[in-house]
Chains A and B, each alone.
Chain A
Amino acid sequence: MDLDTVKTRAGPREFSPADDLPQEYREAATRMIEFHANSEIMGAYLERPFIRQAPSIDRKLAFSAKVQDEIGHGQLLYRAAESLGVKTREEMLEDLANGDGKFLNCFHYPLKSWVEIPMISFFVDGAAMRRQATLRRTSWEPYAHAMDKVCFEEGFHVKHGEDILKELMTGSRKEQEMTQEAFEEWWPRIIQFFGPTDDKSTHHDFAASVGLKQQSNDELRDAFLDQYIPKARKHGLEIPDEPRIRERDDGTYAVEEGDLDWDEFFTIAKNDYEPGLGQINGRKQAQDAVQWVRDTIEGDATTAGGHAPQAAD
């Protein structure tokens, strides 16, 4: 299939591994899904220590289930990416470990305290929900299919995140203050979740023209603000003065893009953001430390005739 045909046919769930697709499409789809999969893994990496720090057994159980879900989403997405035939899962995971794999800006920031948990599991996951909901109509069918399951589970995460936020914001004065402080720190990063404005987005045009991306960064960001500014206020959070938020005549919101730190954003996008290197390197170290197990299994596989054993997984 040539690119023009792809563009003409580009519609929801239009293409599957049975189609002979041009390299440009395969590469763009791989880049997008790989980014998404990497983000699930790095999010889980960041949140995992807070299973231990959760302040009750029920929270611990719910949070541990969430982290497990994120790993499952990663697994599902790598499979959807792999089916494009550009990169294997091993190559993607290796790139992630080496610091070459790209992932969401929010997961480059270290997570220090439980009060930051709703910043991820309510706001960031809520932002992700918005984007993911539109991706159920992406043109790469395996990706859209993965989104069905991901969206279903993500709905529970956001609910639990909101419940944690509500508990903190109706808790002691100290809890409320700590939560407000965390919100002020995270708010600009959360807005940047949706990436740069459309005119600065490098990959948007092509991805949109072949139906991979269903809504632009600006549309998604504005819709998020419309939905989450009232929610934040409802829970007693004050929206910080910066970045400035404009309320349009019709009651919708828009952010003053210039107030956001785009240098930091693009440093992060290159995996060069200093505080986030701890996460990237920490995960690499953990992966290197279990390399001996993978070598053992591959050794088995070679002697057994090339089939990677699954039974003990």
Chain B
Amino acid sequence: MSLESPTELDARERDALETLLKRLADDEFVLAERYTEWQVQAPSLESDLALANNAQDELGHARLWYDVLEDLGFEEQELIYERDPADFRHTTLVERSFEEGDWADAVLRSYLYDAAEELRLEALEDSAYPKIADRVGKIQSEEAYHLEHAQNWVERLAEGEEGHERLQDALDRLFPHALTLFEPVDREVERDIVDLGLRDATLEELGEEWLSIVVPYLESLELELPVSAQVDDDTFEITEEMLPEERGRDGSHTDAWFDLHDELTHTYRDLGRSETTKIMEKPE
């Protein structure tokens, strides 16, 4: 099945597509915001540049996904500047604030996210919506570098006493929020996303596969998971009690997000704008 034209979608198809795209776009957009905080604050000029680069990549990906949403009739200001912050669909992992200098947070957050991003993109390679499938390749080539960068740093920090301690601390805080990467916005719509072939793996499958990668990896660095996700030797599962109170996907967010949204819409509101400026050509 292929869903060719945005104008020929029925309500169910449209809803599924919109939900999937908002998950993707909002995740990348908010993650980029947190990365930008590291510019001129990272441990070296080289790591400043690396995170600046990540931020721009993620922002570029967000732009690609928001652009597909614009085909459905949305405008940028409705998608970002005028959208109720409680309608954003990103995982709470990307919105969490961090303490100044907490480099372990930056690299671990990136690792947890990028490991999931890799699996998610794979499951979109053959999406029934051609524009999604077309954009996956470009994003994958950049994300591979992010994951490598994050892993290099995690491994390097894990070797030192203070680094290890800080990584453990970041893991305790971030891991429950990372699990919301695999939470549905709405169970029924989520079923439609898979049934319609927009994504060819369920969130449960993605979550289990992610756990089967990150859990052994983190344990190999002698980091302890704050919750047990292992059912038996090679079976992993996310259960209700492992999740944080706010799930992100369903619109429940931590305070950090509302503060961030307030800051990022400040100029738009302050200047009394009612539309956004496009200065670049529409992405291919």
Binding site for B on A (CB under 8 A): 41, 44-45, 48, 51-62, 64-65, 67-68, 71-72, 74-75, 78, 113-115, 160, 163, 167, 171-172, 174-175, 178, 283, 285-286, 288-297, 299-300, 309-313
User: At the interface, yes or no: B159 with Cβ under 8 Å from chain A?
Assistant: yes
- CB pair A57–B276 under 8 Å, yes or no, is yes
User: At the interface, yes or no: B44 with Cβ under 8 Å from chain A?
Assistant: yes
**With A58-B63, A292-B162 already in contact, 5 other A-B pairs whose C-beta atoms are closer than 8 Å:** A67-B40, A75-B45, A171-B271, A285-B100, A292-B103
**B267 contacts which of A54, A65, A297 (Cβ < 8 Å)?**
A54
- CB pair B103–A290 under 8 Å, yes or no, is yes
List 13 contacting pairs A-B, 8 Å CB cutoff, sorted by A.
A51-B55, A53-B266, A57-B59, A57-B76, A58-B280, A163-B279, A167-B277, A171-B271, A285-B100, A290-B42, A290-B103, A313-B44, A313-B46
Chain B contacts for A45, CB-based, 8 A? 40
Chain B contacts for A72, CB-based, 8 A? 49
User: At the interface, yes or no: B123 with Cβ under 8 Å from chain A?
Assistant: no
Q: Which residue of B lies closest to A171 (CB)?
A: B271
Q: Which of B48, B63, B99, B264 has the most CB of A within 10 A?
A: B48
Q: Which residue of B lies closest to A70 (CB)?
A: B40
In the assembled complex, how far is the CB of residue B65 from the closest CB belonging to chain A, in whole angstroms?
11
- Give residues 22-40 of B contacting A (CB, 8 Å): 33, 36, 39-40
- CB pair B40–A293 under 8 Å, yes or no, is no
**A68 contacts which of B53, B100, B153, B157 (Cβ < 8 Å)?**
B53
Chain A contacts for B276, CB-based, 8 A? 55-58
Residues A71 and B40 in contact in the complex (CB < 8 Å), given A55-B268, A311-B152, A312-B153: yes
Q: How far is the CA of A163 from the CA of B280 in the complex (A)?
A: 12
Residues A286 and B41 in contact in the complex (CB < 8 Å), given A60-B59, A64-B55: yes
Binding site for A on B (CB under 8 A): 33, 36, 39-50, 52-53, 55-56, 59-60, 62-63, 66, 76, 80-81, 99-103, 149, 152-153, 156-157, 159-160, 162-163, 166, 263-264, 266-268, 270-273, 276-280
- CB pair A55–B267 under 8 Å, yes or no, is yes
Can you list the 4 inter-chain pairs with the closest CB atoms, starting with the nearest? A289-B101, A56-B276, A313-B46, A312-B152
- CB pair A52–B100 under 8 Å, yes or no, is no
- CB pair B52–A57 under 8 Å, yes or no, is no
Residues A51 and B271 in contact in the complex (CB < 8 Å), given A290-B103, A296-B162: no
- CB pair A52–B268 under 8 Å, yes or no, is no
Residues A58 and B271 in contact in the complex (CB < 8 Å), given A44-B39, A288-B101: no
Q: How far is the CA of A60 from the CA of B264 in the complex (A)?
A: 10
Q: How far is the CA of A285 from the CA of B47 in the complex (A)?
A: 17
Chain B contacts for A64, CB-based, 8 A? 36, 39, 52, 55-56, 59
Chain A contacts for B36, CB-based, 8 A? 48, 51-52, 64
- CB pair B272–A172 under 8 Å, yes or no, is yes
Residues A53 and B40 in contact in the complex (CB < 8 Å), given A290-B101, A300-B159: no
In the assembled complex, how far is the CB of residue B147 from the closest CB belonging to chain A, in whole angstroms?
12
Q: How far is the CA of A40 from the CA of B111 in the complex (A)?
A: 30
Q: How far is the CA of A231 from the CA of B276 in the complex (A)?
A: 25
Q: How far is the CA of A290 from the CA of B103 in the complex (A)?
A: 7
Chain A binding surface, main DSSP class: helix
Residues A41 and B40 in contact in the complex (CB < 8 Å), given A71-B49, A172-B271: yes
Residues A313 and B272 in contact in the complex (CB < 8 Å), given A57-B59, A57-B62, A299-B160: no
Residues A53 and B101 in contact in the complex (CB < 8 Å), given A41-B40, A292-B162: no
Chain A contacts for B76, CB-based, 8 A? 56-57
Chain B contacts for A54, CB-based, 8 A? 267
Chain A contacts for B99, CB-based, 8 A? 289
Chain A contacts for B55, CB-based, 8 A? 51, 64
Q: How far is the CA of A292 from the CA of B43 in the complex (A)?
A: 9
- CB pair A58–B278 under 8 Å, yes or no, is yes
In the assembled complex, how far is the CB of residue B214 from the closest CB belonging to chain A, in whole angstroms?
19
- CB pair A51–B39 under 8 Å, yes or no, is yes
Q: Which residue of A lies closest to B159 (CB)?
A: A300
Q: How far is the CA of A167 from the CA of B43 in the complex (A)?
A: 36
- CB pair B156–A297 under 8 Å, yes or no, is yes
In the assembled complex, how far is the CB of residue B134 from the closest CB belonging to chain A, in whole angstroms?
20
Chain A contacts for B48, CB-based, 8 A? 71
In the assembled complex, how far is the CB of residue A278 from the closest CB belonging to chain B, in whole angstroms?
14
- CB pair A62–B49 under 8 Å, yes or no, is no
Chain A contacts for B152, CB-based, 8 A? 311-312
In the assembled complex, how far is the CB of residue A285 from the closest CB belonging to chain B, in whole angstroms?
7
- CB pair B49–A55 under 8 Å, yes or no, is no
Q: Which residue of B lies closest to A93 (CB)?
A: B45
Q: How far is the CA of A295 from the CA of B160 in the complex (A)?
A: 10
Q: How far is the CA of A293 from the CA of B153 in the complex (A)?
A: 10
Chain A contacts for B101, CB-based, 8 A? 286, 288-293
In the assembled complex, how far is the CB of residue B75 from the closest CB belonging to chain A, in whole angstroms?
11
Q: How far is the CA of A75 from the CA of B47 in the complex (A)?
A: 11
- CB pair B52–A294 under 8 Å, yes or no, is no
Q: Which of B267, B268, B278 has the most CB of A within 10 A?
A: B267
